[in-house]
Structure 1
Amino acid sequence: MNFTVIRSSGNIVRPSESTPSVTLNLSAIDKLPIYRMDVKSLHVFKHGGENASKVICEALSKALVPYYPLAGRIKETPDGELQIACTGDGAWFIEAYTDCSLESVNCLDNILLVPNDELLPTPPPETYGINPLLRIQCTRFTCQGFVLGITMNHSIADGVGAAQIFNAIGEFARGFRHPKVQPEWHREAVPARLARVYGERSKLFPPPPIPDYQLKHASLDISQDQINKLKNDFKELTGDYCSTFDVVVASLWCHRTRAIELEKQTEVSLMFPVNARRFLDPPLPEGFYGNCFWPVTITVSSGWLVEASHGEVVQAIKHSKARVSTEIKRWVSSDVLDDSGHRYASPFAYTTLCISDWASLGFDKVDYGWGPPVQMFSVEGVASFPITVVGLPPKPKKGIRLNTGCVQGMHLQSFLQYYKNST
Structure 2
Amino acid sequence: MKTNTVTFTHPSVNVLENRTLHCYRNASYSNVPTTIKVGPFDQLVAPFIPVAVVFIYEQSGSLEPIPVRRLQRALELLLDYYSHLTGRLNIATDGTYEITRIGTGAELLVAKCTDRLDSFSLDTPGRISLMDLPGASNALFGPFDASLEGICRDPLFTVQHTRFACGSVALGIRLRHNNCDGNGYFQLIRDLAELYRGLKSDYIPTLARPPHFLSYMSDLDMTSDEKQEALAFKPSLLVIDPLPEAIKAPSQPPPHVVGRILRFTGAELEALKVYATDPSTPNNWVSTFEAISALLYQSIYQARLRYFSEDPSAVSPPDFLTPFDFRGKRFPELPPAYFPNALLCLYTSLSHDMLSHAPLWQIAKHLHDLMRNKVPDAGHLKSTLRWIAAQPDKTRIRSGFRYGNGSIMVSQWVKFDMYAGTEFDDDEKPKLVSTPFTSISLVDGLAYTLPTEMQGKAGGDKQAIDVNLALSEPIWEILERDEQLKQFSTSWSPIGVRSG
User: Match for 1:412 among 464, 476, 479?
Assistant: 476
**C-alpha RMSD of the superposition:** 3.6
285-294 or 367-376, which deviates more:
367-376
Which residue does 2:263 correspond to in 1? Answer: 221
Which residue does 1:379 correspond to in 2? Answer: 437
- Partners of 1:301 and 1:210 lie apart in 2 by 29
Q: Is the 8 A contact 2:448 2:467 kept in 1?
A: yes
1:147-202: per-residue Cα shift (whole Å, max 9, x none)? 11122212211111111111100111111733343211342437998997777332
1:130-149: per-residue Cα shift (whole Å, max 9, x none)? 62211110111123221111
Over 3 Å counting, the alpha-carbon distance change for 1:70 and 1:228 in structure 2 is same
Q: State the shift of 1:249 in Å.
A: 1.3
Q: Is the 8 A contact 1:353 1:406 kept in 2?
A: no
1:359-402: per-residue Cα shift (whole Å, max 9, x none)? 22343222211323423223331634321222222235541111
Q: Is the 8 A contact 2:160 2:172 kept in 1?
A: yes
Q: Is the 8 A contact 1:29 1:195 kept in 2?
A: no
If the length of structure 2 is used for normalisation, what is the TM-score? 0.72
SS in 2 for 1:29: helix
Q: State the shift of 1:406 in Å.
A: 2.2
Q: Is the 8 A contact 2:59 2:65 kept in 1?
A: no
Over 3 Å counting, the alpha-carbon distance change for 1:223 and 1:281 in structure 2 is closer
Which residue does 1:254 correspond to in 2? Answer: 298
Alignment map for 1:40-59 (pairs within 5 Å): 40-47=52-59, 49=64, 51-59=66-74
SS in 1 for 2:268: helix
Could you tell me which amino acid in structure 1 is paired with residue 479 of structure 2? F
Which residue does 2:346 correspond to in 1? Answer: 296
Q: Is the 8 A contact 2:108 2:158 kept in 1?
A: yes
Q: State the shift of 1:52 in Å.
A: 2.9
Q: Which runs of 5+ in 2 are unaligned?
A: 1-8, 122-126, 200-204, 221-229, 389-397, 455-459, 490-500
- Partners of 1:336 and 1:207 lie apart in 2 by 28
Which residue does 2:211 correspond to in 1? Answer: 183
Alignment map for 1:136-175 (pairs within 5 Å): 136-175=159-198
Over 3 Å counting, the alpha-carbon distance change for 1:197 and 1:34 in structure 2 is farther
Q: What percent identity do the matched residue pairs reach?
A: 17
Q: State the shift of 1:71 in Å.
A: 1.9
- Partners of 2:196 and 2:174 lie apart in 1 by 20
- Partners of 2:359 and 2:296 lie apart in 1 by 13
Matched, 1:391 2:450: yes
If the length of structure 1 is used for normalisation, what is the TM-score? 0.84
Q: State the shift of 1:331 in Å.
A: 5.6
Alignment map for 1:67-86 (pairs within 5 Å): 67-77=82-92, 81-85=96-100
User: Match for 2:328 among 278, 287, 309?
Assistant: 278
- Partners of 1:32 and 1:40 lie apart in 2 by 18
Q: Is the 8 A contact 2:238 2:399 kept in 1?
A: no
SS in 1 for 2:119: helix
Q: State the shift of 1:4 in Å.
A: 0.7
Which residue does 1:8 correspond to in 2? Answer: 16
Q: Is the 8 A contact 1:298 1:343 kept in 2?
A: no
Matched, 1:319 2:369: yes
Q: Is the 8 A contact 1:119 1:139 kept in 2?
A: yes
Q: Which runs of 5+ in 1 are unaligned?
A: none
Q: Is the 8 A contact 1:139 1:148 kept in 2?
A: yes
Could you tell me which amino acid in structure 2 is paired with residue 202 of structure 1? D
Which residue does 2:493 correspond to in 1? Answer: none
Which residue does 1:35 correspond to in 2? Answer: 47
Q: State the shift of 1:413 in Å.
A: 2.6
Over 3 Å counting, the alpha-carbon distance change for 1:26 and 1:197 in structure 2 is farther
1:316-371: per-residue Cα shift (whole Å, max 9, x none)? 1110010244466436448999xxxx962321x11111123322234322221132
- Partners of 1:210 and 1:402 lie apart in 2 by 32
Q: Is the 8 A contact 2:268 2:488 kept in 1?
A: no
Which residue does 2:492 correspond to in 1? Answer: none
Q: Is the 8 A contact 1:64 1:70 kept in 2?
A: yes
User: Match for 1:88 among 90, 103, 124?
Assistant: 103
- Partners of 1:32 and 1:63 lie apart in 2 by 26
User: Match for 1:241 among 285, 288, 299?
Assistant: 285
SS in 2 for 1:220: strand
Over 3 Å counting, the alpha-carbon distance change for 1:161 and 1:380 in structure 2 is same
1:240-264: per-residue Cα shift (whole Å, max 9, x none)? 3332211111111122122222689
Could you tell me which amino acid in structure 1 is paired with residue 240 of structure 2? R
Over 3 Å counting, the alpha-carbon distance change for 1:84 and 1:198 in structure 2 is farther
Which residue does 2:416 correspond to in 1? Answer: 361
SS in 1 for 2:350: strand
Over 3 Å counting, the alpha-carbon distance change for 1:188 and 1:343 in structure 2 is closer
SS in 2 for 1:69: helix
1:280-314: per-residue Cα shift (whole Å, max 9, x none)? 65431121111121111121112212322222222
Of structures 1 and 2, the larger Rg is shown by 2
Q: Is the 8 A contact 1:160 1:361 kept in 2?
A: yes
Could you tell me which amino acid in structure 1 is paired with residue 352 of structure 2? S
Q: State the shift of 1:98 in Å.
A: 1.1
SS in 2 for 1:187: coil
Could you tell me which amino acid in structure 2 is paired with residue 268 of structure 1? P
372-381 or 62-71, which deviates more:
372-381
Over 3 Å counting, the alpha-carbon distance change for 1:206 and 1:327 in structure 2 is farther
22-31 or 370-379, which deviates more:
370-379
Which residue does 1:109 correspond to in 2? Answer: 129
SS in 2 for 1:363: coil
Which residue does 1:21 correspond to in 2? Answer: 32
Matched, 1:307 2:353: no
SS in 2 for 1:179: coil
Q: Is the 8 A contact 1:213 1:385 kept in 2?
A: no
58-67 or 110-119, which deviates more:
110-119
Could you tell me which amino acid in structure 2 is paired with residue 345 of structure 1? F
